[in-house]
């Protein structure tokens, strides 16, 4: 059984990845499982830089192959904002954050409200070069929140192919199409290659 550290304190994220990696010969650990309380600073200017910083930082701390991700929302009309600042956009969190984004978009017509969710996963290994994979989900920013599921910007993120916001989709459907699920499936291919190559 090979070991993999998932650089997160989020049990939901761990469960999601465990399901996608279920058929690989892997034992997954969270930071809490290993008693790691050090915080690796996310000082990068891009999702890729932050994912790499976290993966390589926690790989060095644990000595284990490590998966870390960074993700967020990019809105075309805002020049790609909130981007890496998605979690703290406007200096507010929760419902106030949705309102802040809506205020920024107040005069933007529907056809210019294009956006995408991005997730970059970095896989760091003590004896291999770090590898990066990415998942994206295109959508449109709604004029008002819709739906009660999901979290973060999900109530404002309308997915054309689904004719619904992410907050209106079932958790199962969201996890099939989401940027994180796409990146995780790509990460699974990297891990399968690593496992195949190792004795």
Does 63 count as an annotated binding residue?
Answer: no
**How far is the C-alpha of 32 from the C-alpha of 150, rounded, in Å?**
24
Strand 2-6 relative to strand 114-125, pairing: unpaired
Does 174 count as an annotated binding residue?
Answer: yes
Does 62 count as an annotated binding residue?
Answer: no
Does 79 count as an annotated binding residue?
Answer: no
Does 41 count as an annotated binding residue?
Answer: yes
Does 66 count as an annotated binding residue?
Answer: no
Residues 6+ apart with CB under 8 A from 4: 21, 26, 27, 28, 29, 64, 65, 66, 67, 191
Does 33 count as an annotated binding residue?
Answer: no
Residues 6+ apart with CB under 8 A from 100: 89, 90, 92
Does 100 count as an annotated binding residue?
Answer: no
At residue 138, the 3 state secondary structure works out as strand
Q: How big, in percent rounded to 5, are the helix, strand and coil portions of the chain?
A: 45, 25, 30
Q: Which residues, listed in sequence order, are joined to residue 136 by a DSSP beta bridge?
A: 118
Backbone region of residue 35 per phi and psi (left: phi > 0; alpha: psi in -120 to 50; beta: other values):
left
Does 11 count as an annotated binding residue?
Answer: yes
Does 54 count as an annotated binding residue?
Answer: no
At residue 160, the 3 state secondary structure works out as helix
Of the residues 70, 103, 161, 163, only one is catalytic, namely 70
Residue 103 known to be catalytic: no
Does 149 count as an annotated binding residue?
Answer: no
Please give the annotated binding residues, written as ranges: 8-13, 41, 70-71, 151-154, 174, 179-180
Residue ranges at the known binding site for substrate: 8-13, 71, 151-154, 174, 179-180
**Would you please indicate which residues are annotated as catalytic (active-site) residues?**
70
> Binding site residues for Mg(2+), as ranges?
41, 70
């Amino acid at each position: 059984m090979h070991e993999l550290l998932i650089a997160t304190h989020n049990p939901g994220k761990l469960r999601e990845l465990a399901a996608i990696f279920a058929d690989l010969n892997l034992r997954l650990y969270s930071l809490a499982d290993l008693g790691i309380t050090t915080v690796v600073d996310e000082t990068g200017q891009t999702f890729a830089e932050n994912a790499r910083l976290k993966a390589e930082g926690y790989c060095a701390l644990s000595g284990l192959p490590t998966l870390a991700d960074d993700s967020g929302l990019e809105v075309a009309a805002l020049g790609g904002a909130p981007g890496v600042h998605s979690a703290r956009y406007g200096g507010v969190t929760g419902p106030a954050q949705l309102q802040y984004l809506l205020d920024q978009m107040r005069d933007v017509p529907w056809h210019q409200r294009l956006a995408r969710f991005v997730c970059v996963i970095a896989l760091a290994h003590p004896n291999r070069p770090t590898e990066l994979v990415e998942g994206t989900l295109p959508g449109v920013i709604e004029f008002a929140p819709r739906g009660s599921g999901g979290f973060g910007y999900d109530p404002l993120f309308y997915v054309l192919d689904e004719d619904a916001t992410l907050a209106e989709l079932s958790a199962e459907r969201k996890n099939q199409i989401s940027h994180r699920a796409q990146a995780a499936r790509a990460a699974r291919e990297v891990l399968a290659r690593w496992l195949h190559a190792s004795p």
